[in-house]
Amino acid sequence: TQLLEQSPQFLSIQEGENLTVYCNSSSVFSSLQWYRQEPGEGPVLLVTVVTGGEVKKLKRLTFQFGDARKDSSLHITAAQPGDTGLYLCAGGRETYKYIFGTGTRLKVLA
């Protein structure tokens, strides 16, 4: 069974701090997605990365896909309370299926 491990599992920080969450696997993925999920709602796609070493920026969020396409990171600069949520990574292979990680639950305190 493919596993996508995310770390840390939980993170509580003050507004304005920076943070990085990680998504690691022993498997190679053709693409990797990051989602944010808020309580009572479905996940919402933030970004898809497809090339090893690729870096994408979305305002204060920076996503990187590892060179070997086995891992990814999400860095948030100057976190805000609105960033609070469950962050999920999902790895895709050459099929229609994605494997989801266990998630990082982030809480940003005002």
Binding site for other proteins (CB under 8 A): 1, 4, 6, 9, 30-31, 33, 40-45, 48, 88, 90, 92, 94, 96-98, 100-103
Dist CA 1 CA 85 (whole Å): 27
Dist CA 43 CA 30 (whole Å): 21
Sheet holding 5-7, edge to edge: 5-7, 19-24, 71-76, 61-65, 55-58
CB of 4: closest distance to other proteins in angstroms? 7
CB of 10: closest distance to other proteins in angstroms? 10
Q: Toward other proteins, which CB reaches closer, 5 or 75?
A: 5
